[in-house]
Structure 1
Amino acid sequence: MGSIQRRLIPSYIFLIIWCLFSVFPLYWMVTAATNTTVEVARGKVWFGLHAAENLKNLMAAQPLWRAMGNSFLYAIFQTIFCLFVCSLAGFGFELYADRAKDRLFAFLLLAMMIPGVATMIPLFVLISRLKLLNSVWGFILPQVATPFMIMMFRQNSRNFPPAILEAARLDGQTEIGIFFRQYMPIMRSTYAAAAVVTFMNAWNAYLWPKVVMLDNRAENMPMLIANLSNGYTVDYGMLMMGVLFCSLPTMIVFFVLQKQFAEGITGSVK
């Protein structure tokens, strides 16, 4: 073993220990979903035999599949519309010359400094007057265009080859045609990264759905998990089973798109 490899041993040990600490909450969530509430309260950290019982109790106590379907509906619609609107804005901000665009973009970035709770009341009044409460549109409209996503697409658009844009114009393509036929395929890694972030934010959203979803039939998974912890007693086994179901979709999306996510975050374009 070389001297360089020996010097790296402490770093490897530190990283392994840190990874174990990072993974342990996920491991505990999975094992707790298979144990009874008494076993979880006693600190049992290995797998039990009560997974089916906890799942049965969860489905009896809460409308699990309805909340799961609502979460998928809200997250998918928000992801699709947010990616389209923000990528179109980033495409325009970066690839078209205009004197006022930098000022407009700087004004847009100021919105990132405003806390979401500061705009929640006027947004609720607006959604209420539009009669969009308890609807998909009421959920997605406030997040359909976010300054962070627009900035992300604009920054990554700087790697878009200008020669392709000029060649497409010489071929007689419209600007919308260039966006759909050249821009979107080339920027697919950026779309993947943005899709992961948007889907996870929409899936894990709790405060805004709690405000606009006044009907229990419109609740999503985080709202369902919050309902499980209400009351004088909490069934921790059933609660962890609900948390496990709530966590699985986001983990699957991230693991499927992790390569494209890394490429999109670093700004690489293919």
Structure 2
Amino acid sequence: MSIISVFPLYWMINASTNKSIDITRGKLLPGSAFFENFKNLLASQDVSSAMINSFKYALILTFLSLLVCSLAGYGFEIYHDKGKDIVMSIILLAMMVPFAAIMIPLFQMFSKAKLLNSTLGFILPTISTPFLIMLFRQSSRSFPHDIIEAARLDGLNEIQIFFKIFLPTMKSTYAAAFTITFMNAWNSYLWPKVIMTNKKSITMPMLVANLTEGYVTDYGMLMLGVLLCTIPTIIIFFVLQKYFAEGITGAIK
């Protein structure tokens, strides 16, 4: 089962080193066309611009999402109010609405607000997600309330308690949320395809999709584009995998 799971990754790396004709013939050994594919990719697409855009959009969205959703999850759990469970239920109901159902109204709204081809237009629809709010709320349940009371007695206000005590304590949850949010933002295709109408605002998933256009597809160049698009998420996951597992486990508890 492990071999079956890893094989697509091996095939992607292997295909990026072969010519298109070798890939269509089913060659499963590395070739010598990696630099040729890389040269062709740079000549046909603005890879550096797409990579910079993807990093910029993904990082800004990730950090803002972590801030907003962690504040919301912390507030839902720490502060008591009769209507908070009702509000939380309404937020969770939003998970049942498919994005395609609200995509056209969102585009019209963002177009009238002149937010097309902007970072703000990219991040606003997903800056706060029900899943992340629920994740931080579940994690906040294991946060000792005695520490909060002690901090209040020491003179810390609520914002200071959050940033100086809660945030450092929940490193594993933040790591898990960072991994999930960054990967989703990096791999996002549908909304950027709609909102980014300028070629200068292209992202890596959009660039890879562009490689399939035309009468003939160069599969070697296409697989190299997919490999370049995959590397950042692989690095993020392997660097944070320990904290990711701890954060998810802690949230479930």
By the TM > 0.5 criterion, same fold?
A: yes
Do the aligned partners of 2:136 and 2:251 also contact (CA within 8 Å) in 1? Answer: no
1:67 matches 2:45: no
Q: In the alignment, does 2:149 pair up with 1:200?
A: no
Structure 1 residue 268: deviation in Å?
Answer: 6.2
Q: Post-superposition shift, 1:130?
A: 1.6
C-alpha distance in 2 between matches for 1:49 and 1:57: 14
2:197 maps to which residue?
Answer: 214
Match of 2:234 in 1: 251
2:173 to 166, 172, 190: 190
2:215 is matched with which residue? Answer: 232
Larger radius of gyration: 1
Post-superposition offset of 1:127: 1.2
Q: Give the 4+ runs in structure 1 shifted more than 4 A.
A: none
Q: Which residue of 1 aligns with 2:246?
A: 263
Q: Percent identity?
A: 59
- State whether residues 189 and 268 of structure 1, in contact with CA within 8 Å, keep that contact through their aligned partners in structure 2: no
Which of residues 58, 78, 81 is equivalent to 1:98? 81
| Matched-pair contact (CA < 8 Å) for 2:17–2:37 | yes
Paired residues of 1:32 and 1:236 also in contact (CA < 8 A)? yes
Distance in 2 (CA, whole Å) between partners of 1:267 and 1:129 is: 43
Q: CA deviation at 1:128?
A: 1.2
Show the 5 A alignment for 1:43-192. Answer: 43-192=26-175
Q: Answer whether contact 2:17 2:33 (CA < 8 A) is retained.
A: yes
Matches of 2:250 and 2:199 in 1, distance apart?
41
| Structure 1 unaligned spans of 5+ | 1-17
User: Aligned-pair distance for 1:129?
Assistant: 1.7
For the pair 1:223 / 2:200, whether they are aligned, the reply is no
What is the correspondence of 1:29-40 to structure 2 with a 5 Å cutoff? 29-40=12-23
Deviations 1:132-163 (A, max 9, x none): 11011100000000011100100111011111
What SS does structure 1 have at the residue aligned with 2:197?
A: coil
Which SS does the other structure have where 1:49 is aligned? Answer: coil
**d(CA) in 2 for partners of 1:173 and 1:126?**
41
Query: Per-residue deviation at 1:125?
Result: 1.5
In structure 2, what is the Cα distance between the partners aligned to 1:28 and 1:45? 7
Looking at structure 1, the residues matched to 59 and 108 of structure 2 have their Cα atoms a distance apart, in angstroms, of 25
TM-score (norm 1): 0.92
* Superposition deviation, residue 185 in structure 1: 0.3
Partners of 1:70 and 1:268 lie apart in 2 by 32
